[in-house]
Structure 1
């Protein structure tokens, strides 16, 4: 069993100061993804009037005076590291809250709040282990990862958290958590021994569920972009036009016009079709990333979208697609 070591605030800050901008962004995305996964699998708010719309992490929380305009705030005005977006099922009202104000502003039971806080603490311990490994001189096992890639070790497993985390951390040379490292090492050893694993029915179902979770999280990011556009005084008619253009862009040059509307539909698709739908959803996210890059209020969301693209090895080239130009012109009205 791994020995759990929690860093003090001063120790964590000292290590974070050694990291590059891109390394801090990667760690921030890891934190956000892990927390989103907990919300989706543990259904924290299922017995309340509120539904979870998304989460934003401020990677520069410790640098309050160095990134003017990028700070996150609770609706009460308090500056936040983790901002949770909630929407009322009955009224449609949307709240931006820190975890400490769930009960005060949304009447969410204290027990639920404690469960969420416990999850955050667990994720922080996981991140601390990565920071400790970095301080000890460990870096990303690039040679091992490249060997697994060259021998198609991730074939049919592109939707796994391990694959996405390796893509993310390999770009910035961050060490993996011990459990992730051992999993990658085991995969490498099996490939060296010439062992090819055939997916079982249970594994196929698990991969399909992971693809559905990815699709859902990307869809929530797109929802957040549309929310920011509404905050930027874009009319409902223009929002509808932008949404339509985003779908057309996502389906551009594809043989099929099949486009699912709900993550649950992913669970009834074959793995191949599920992967295709995730690819389409990533292209739709790319549309919003290109449109909102010059929107100051969307800077953190754009940075997070860029990290998602890296994790999925999806390029983010600027496009001359008419719908993108039209959406940008609507922002300048």
Structure 2
């Protein structure tokens, strides 16, 4: 049984201050992904007028002396570490809130607010387990992970949280939480013993659900990019053109023009086709990173998007695609040559 370790805020901040910038960003992406998963699976806002549009985390909230970029704020003006973005189903109005103001600004029941807060606390406990191991000089189990990957231990299971978390932490040498480590070790020992696991129907269903959740989170990140464009007063027709270019870019070099537009449709596909649609969606996200990378107000979004790409072992290229050049020109209000 894993011992639960709860750090005080001072202890947590002390260890966080020892991390490199890339380690801080990876850890915050883990936190954000875990929170997004909770919103998607527990349907916190189902009985309200609000739908969850995304979450932005300030990785430098506890490092004020070396803060990078703009701060995050609640609509009330209070500085935030976790900014939740909600959209009204009836009016389309957006709210940018800290968890303590869900009830005050969005009339979300106190019970729901408490459930969300409990989720954040649970995720913080999980993160504390990682930080304690880091302080004890534990590292990412690179050799074990590489063995599992090389021997196809994650074949058809690239959508699992374990695989994505391993990719995030491997790049920055952060230790895995004990539960994740034990799950990775179990796969490793099975492969060492020559056991080949064949997916059951239930496992395939769960994997399709995981891919659908991933697709949805990538889509929400793209929605936030488009919302940022609207906030920067980019004309609607230009935003529509940018969206069209992003889809064309995503489908480049594909033998099909099939493009899923709703995460629910993913579950009706085969695993191969579902993974292909996620890859297309990630390429669309790459498009937005490339066109928004030099815009200061989009820094958090670009940083988060890069962490998503890392988690999925997907690179962000520096493409010369005409649609990217045109999109940048539309954003900057220039004519395309």
* Alignment TM-score > 0.5, same fold: yes
Q: Deviations over 1:98-153 (max 9, x none)?
A: 00000000000000000000000000000000000000111100010011111111
Match in the other structure for 1:296: 296
CA offset digits 1:243-294 (Å, max 9, x no partner)? 0000000000100000011000001000000000000000000000000001
Report the Cα distance in structure 2 between the residues aligned to 1:113 and 1:2, rounded to whole angstroms: 28
Secondary structure, aligned partner of 1:287: helix
**Cα distance between partner residues in 2 of 1:30 and 1:145:** 18
User: 1:24, 1:59 within 8 Å by CA — same for their partners in 2?
Assistant: yes
The CA distance in 1 between the partners of 2:143 and 2:273, in whole Å, is 32
Q: Tell me what 1:252 maps to.
A: 252
Deviation per CA, 1:11-35: give whole Å up to 9, x if none: 1111111110100000010000000
2:273 and 2:293 mapped to 1: Cα distance? 30
1:46-61 alignment to 2 at 5 Å?
46-61=46-61
* Corresponding residue number in structure 1 for 2:22: 22
C-alpha separation between the residues in 1 aligned to 2:64 and 2:297? 16
Determine if contact 1:26/1:169 at 8 Å carries over to the other structure: yes
TM-score, reference length from structure 1 = 0.99
Q: Which residue of 1 aligns with 2:320?
A: 320
Structure-2 separation of matches of 1:25 and 1:68:
12
Match of 2:76, SS state, is: coil
Contact 2:87 2:93 in 1 (8 A): yes
| Distance in 1, Cα, partners of 2:68 & 2:151 | 46
| 3-state SS of paired residue (1:259) | coil
- Deviation at residue 64 of structure 1 after TM alignment: 2.6
Q: Once the 2 structures are TM-superposed, how far is the Cα of residue 168 of structure 1 from its aligned partner?
A: 0.7
Aligned Cα RMSD in Å? 0.7
Is this contact kept in 1: 2:130–2:176, CA < 8 A? yes
Partner of 1:130: 130
Structure 1 residue 67: Cα displacement: 2.6
Shift of 1:183: 0.3
Q: Name 2:284's counterpart in structure 1.
A: 284
Q: Is the 8 A contact 1:64 1:71 kept in 2?
A: no
**Alignment partner, residue 270 of structure 2:** 270
Aligned residue number for residue 224 of structure 2:
224
Q: Once the 2 structures are TM-superposed, how far is the Cα of residue 75 of structure 1 from its aligned partner?
A: 0.7
Instruction: Normalising by structure 2, report the TM-score.
Output: 0.98
Query: 1 CA distance for matches of 2:197 and 2:111?
Result: 43
Classify the secondary structure of the residue corresponding to 1:85: strand
Q: Is the 8 A contact 2:212 2:264 kept in 1?
A: yes
Deviations 1:179-206 (A, max 9, x none): 0000000000000000001110000000
Q: Distance in 1 between matches of 2:69 and 2:77?
A: 14
Structure 1: runs of 5 or more not aligned? none
What is the CA deviation profile of residues 44-68 of structure 1, one whole-angstrom value per residue up to 9, with x for unaligned ones? 0000000000000111001234335
Query: Which stretches in structure 2 are left out of the alignment for 5+ residues?
Result: none
SS of equivalent to 1:213:
helix
Judged with a 3 Å threshold, the aligned counterparts in structure 2 of structure 1 residues 30 and 68 are, in CA distance, closer, same or farther, namely closer
2:176 aligned with 1:176: yes
> Superposed, which structure 2 residues align to 1:54-93 within 5 Å?
54-67=54-67, 69-93=69-93
Give the structure 2 partner of residue 166 of structure 1: 166
**C-alpha distance in 2, partners of 1:195/1:68?**
48
Moved more, 23-32 or 2-11: 2-11
